[in-house]
Structure 1
Amino acid sequence: MDLASLFALFVMAVLFLVIVAAIVALGSLPGQIAKTRNHPHTDAINVASWIGLAFGGILWPVALVWAFVPFSGSLSTCEGEVESLRKQVAELKTELSSLKSASA
């Protein structure tokens, strides 16, 4: 092998490594963003990102947008709010029935 062939092989190897590094960086980007933003679906976003890249990048943009979607809270927070509203409704019903009995 002459020097030109060795240089060509070196350039091809470097290009291959750069392409692999770019694919790994892109594949892990939505998962890293979701983890940084403390998103509760970080693992699902990461999986969607890698599956998206494996299938030609179809699902990758969805995973990226999903990583940026704000999450308002957990289900337990919603259940607490529902319970609070139920108590308020019960109190209002009691007050309404006492008002009805007072006016009668």
Structure 2
Amino acid sequence: MNIFLDYASLSILFIVLLIFIYGLIIVHDIPYEMALKRNHPHAEAIHVAGWISLFFLHVLWPFLWIWASMYNGDKQAWLGEKDKVSAQEYSSLVARINELEKQIKE
């Protein structure tokens, strides 16, 4: 009976260790999955950096999360990037600013 408990505890320890390693690999791959979902242009670089992060105890992982979430796949643009203003809109904005400056000086 004692030998049975030894093998049972060893198998439970082995199963828990396998689940832990599998979970660690799944968690490290989250930024890459985010990048694929958003059609990120650097998805493969994020994936490689995620594997490298495994060897550095996931120190890079929060930065990979930020990097993956900074790209908006729907607009094909980086988050925080403003829509580009056309030359005509720019000139009208400059004219409006000059007009407001004149009103302030008066």
Which residue of the partner structure matches residue 44 of structure 1?
Answer: 45
SS of the equivalent of 2:71 reads coil
Which residue of the partner structure matches residue 22 of structure 1?
Answer: 23
CA contact (8 A) 1:50 1:60 kept: no
CA contact (8 A) 1:33 1:67 kept: yes
Kindly state the Cα deviation for residue 70 of structure 1 after the two structures are TM-superposed: 2.1
Structure 2 unmatched ranges of 5 or more: 78-83, 89-106
Question: Which string of whole-angstrom CA distances, capped at 9 and with x for unpartnered residues, describes residues 20-74 of structure 1?
Answer: 1111101211111100111111001111111112111111111111111125647
Question: Which string of whole-angstrom CA distances, capped at 9 and with x for unpartnered residues, describes residues 70-93 of structure 1?
Answer: 25647xxxxxx8xx86xx8xxxxx
Which residue of the partner structure matches residue 14 of structure 2?
Answer: 13
SS of the equivalent of 1:38 reads coil
SS of the equivalent of 1:2 reads helix
Higher helix share: 1
- Percent identity reads 31
Q: Distance in 1 between matches of 2:57 and 2:3?
A: 38
Q: Distance in 2 between matches of 1:12 and 1:73?
A: 47
**RMSD of aligned Cα (Å):** 2.2
- Whose radius of gyration is greater, 1 or 2? 1
Runs of 4+ aligned residues of structure 1 deviating over 6 Å after TM superposition are: none
**Letter in structure 2 aligned against 1:51:** I
TM-score, reference length from structure 1 = 0.64
